[in-house]
């Protein structure tokens, strides 16, 4: 039988504990001090952030499909141009007359779009404040620092505070405001299936990290009689009084982690299996777990849940046509299964998933790929979405055109703040609490871009 050393045992306990909450949350235990006053409405909503790390080239996700628009696109994109005949044509609701098509590896998303469950937010990106091409070229207006850096831009997307360092994300601040809706639930409102992230970190609510297979418990405890005796002995040790502040913090954190693991494992074990078949890809497995956690919402006393999933590999400097095609297949199939599962659970109207990515990519090719850009297009999926539409302003696809920095990088016409504020409002954040969640929202003209009816 496996018998871990004392040092290994303590290290494993600490790692398991950290998936539930951090030391700061343990010491001060501020969760019950949320000042927000929220009506006990009894409704349920879930918001799912799907981060595409690396910078998705949205210029090949939605492509001009009419003859003149496609000709200009193909001339600028060169080797990256998707053949016009292979594009999946889109019928837009309330469009501006332009004709677009999806990448050929997005057939499931094309169907969801036409069914009215999927929308596209055009040319969204990080902004300190609205900025024009003339202001950008003259240097007369502030822009996000380290504008084309993966690390900086992915964090700025998740914090929605690009002009100063923020240790919290807008999802975490939203959880702080809405936490009281979950009453005395012992599981965090924010759950990550993709490890640590900034998006879900709040001042009082910290994410609970699980794997695509479920919660992460202490290693070496398999439910046998001997294992249960050892586990009880460990609990007894944790329950002893500790004079040292950090010893007590460690004890509280590990105890809470053990309890959360048991609660979540029990809640998931009591569910009937989903009939929806998910892909076995990394994203498919993550979204499958999200669906199972949504199915367990009643068992967990949840009225609000925020989830974080992610996929890497979108930094397509080379071999982009093959690499992005595989990634978009994974995305299309995963989101299609996720929507089907929500419909099966009867919560399609109550669950919204959205994509985010570091930035877009340059319109001209660098040879076999593309370089770091700025504004990009994002998907929003859910039964409450006014699907079949483009939201925001689609950029003029022209190098040195009115929306270009000068290198085929689109200046965002919709800020991350406006995009996030629209999602937060649907999720239940009041107009009075919106500046708490998104401190810079007052700088922008459209705190609601009309994604939801």
DSSP-based three-state secondary structure for 297? coil
Alpha helices in 346-437 (DSSP H): 416-427, 434-437
Q: Which residues contact 297 (CB under 8 A, 6 or more apart)?
A: 44, 46, 303, 305
CA distances from 6 to 3, 13, 301, 310, 370 (A): 9, 11, 36, 35, 51
Query: Over the stretch 112-163, which tens digit does the pLDDT of each residue have?
Result: 999 999 999 999 999 999 999 999 999 989 999 999 999 999 999 999 999 9
| Look-up of token digits 């990080």 | 126
For the chain, the farthest-separated pair of C-alpha atoms sits apart, in whole angstroms, at 75
Contact criterion met (CB below 8 Å) for 160 and 417? yes
Q: Which two tokens stand for residue 345?
A: 């659970």
CA–CA separation, 120 vs 104, rounded Å?
17
| Look-up of token digits 């199972």 | 292
Helices then strands, counting H and E runs in the chain, come out as 13, 12
Residues of the chain below pLDDT 50: 1-41
**pTM of this prediction exceeds 0.85:** yes
CATH of 44-219+278-443 among 2.30.29, 3.40.720, 3.20.20, 1.20.1300 = 3.40.720
CA distances from 113 to 97, 356, 363 (A): 17, 18, 24
Q: Burial code of 269-293, b = ≥16 C-beta within 10 A, e = fewer?
A: eeeeebebebbebbbbbbbbbbbbb
Q: Which two tokens stand for residue 228?
A: 């249960």
Contact criterion met (CB below 8 Å) for 385 and 117? yes
Q: Quote the pLDDT of residue 28.
A: 32
CA–CA separation, 49 vs 52, rounded Å?
10
Question: What is the domain partition of the chain in residue ranges?
Answer: 44-219+278-443
> What are the residues facing 309 on neighbouring strands?
50
DSSP-based three-state secondary structure for 123? strand
Burial of 149 (0-12, 13-18, 19+ CB in 10 A): middle
Contact criterion met (CB below 8 Å) for 270 and 286? no
CA–CA separation, 433 vs 316, rounded Å?
38
Its sign, for the CA torsion 48, 52, 55, 61, is negative
Q: Which two tokens stand for residue 384?
A: 């409450």
Q: Quote the pLDDT of residue 42.
A: 56
> What are the residues facing 100 on neighbouring strands?
64
CA–CA separation, 253 vs 14, rounded Å?
8
Reported as half-sphere exposure (CB side, CA atoms, 13 A), residue 139 has a value of 0
Reported residue count of the chain is 453
Closest CA relative to residue 356, chosen from 51, 109, 20 = 51
């Amino acid at each position: 039988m496996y018998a871990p050393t004392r040092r290994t045992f303590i290290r494993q306990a600490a790692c398991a504990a950290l998936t539930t909450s951090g030391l700061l949350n343990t010491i001060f235990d501020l969760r019950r001090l949320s000042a927000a006053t929220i009506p006990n409405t009894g409704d349920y909503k879930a918001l799912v952030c799907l981060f595409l790390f690396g910078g998705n080239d949205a210029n090949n996700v939605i492509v001009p499909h009419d003859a003149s628009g496609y000709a200009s696109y193909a001339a600028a994109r060169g080797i990256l141009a998707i053949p016009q005949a292979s594009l999946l044509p889109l019928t837009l609701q309330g469009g501006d007359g332009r004709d677009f098509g999806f990448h050929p590896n997005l057939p499931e998303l094309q169907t969801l779009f036409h069914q009215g469950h999927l929308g596209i937010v055009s040319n969204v990106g990080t902004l300190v404040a609205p900025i024009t091409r003339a202001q950008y070229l003259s240097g007369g207006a502030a822009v996000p620092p380290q504008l084309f850096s993966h690390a900086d831009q992915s964090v700025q997307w998740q914090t929605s505070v690009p002009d100063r360092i923020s240790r919290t994300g807008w999802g975490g601040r939203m959880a702080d405001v809405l936490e009281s809706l979950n009453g005395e639930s012992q599981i965090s409102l924010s759950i990550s299936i993709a490890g640590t992230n900034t998006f879900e970190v709040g001042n009082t609510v910290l994410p609970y990290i699980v794997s695509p297979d479920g919660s992460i418990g202490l290693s070496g405890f398999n439910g046998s009689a001997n294992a249960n005796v050892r586990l009880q002995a460990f609990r007894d040790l944790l329950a002893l009084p500790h004079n040292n502040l950090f010893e007590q913090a460690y004890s509280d954190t590990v105890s809470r982690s053990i309890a959360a693991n048991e609660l979540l494992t029990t809640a998931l074990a009591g569910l009937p299996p989903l009939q929806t078949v998910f892909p076995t890809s990394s994203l498919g497995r993550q979204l499958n777990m999200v669906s199972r956690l949504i199915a367990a919402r009643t068992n967990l006393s949840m009225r609000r849940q925020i989830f974080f999933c992610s996929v890497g590999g979108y930094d397509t400097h080379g071999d982009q046509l093959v690499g992005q095609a595989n990634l978009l297949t994974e995305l299309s199939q995963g989101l299609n299964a996720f929507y089907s599962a929500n419909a099966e659970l009867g919560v399609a109207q109550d669950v919204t998933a959205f994509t985010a990515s570091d930035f877009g990519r340059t319109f001209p090719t660098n040879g076999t790929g593309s370089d770091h850009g700025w504004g990009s297009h994002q998907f929003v999926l859910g039964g409450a979405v006014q699907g079949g539409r483009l939201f925001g302003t689609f950029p003029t696809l022209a190098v040195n055109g009115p929306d270009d920095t000068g290198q085929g990088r689109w200046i965002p016409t919709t800020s991350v703040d406006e995009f996030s504020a629209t999602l937060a409002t649907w999720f239940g954040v009041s107009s009075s609490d919106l500046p708490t969640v998104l401190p810079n929202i007052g700088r922008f003209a459209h705190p609601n871009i009309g994604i939801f009816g």
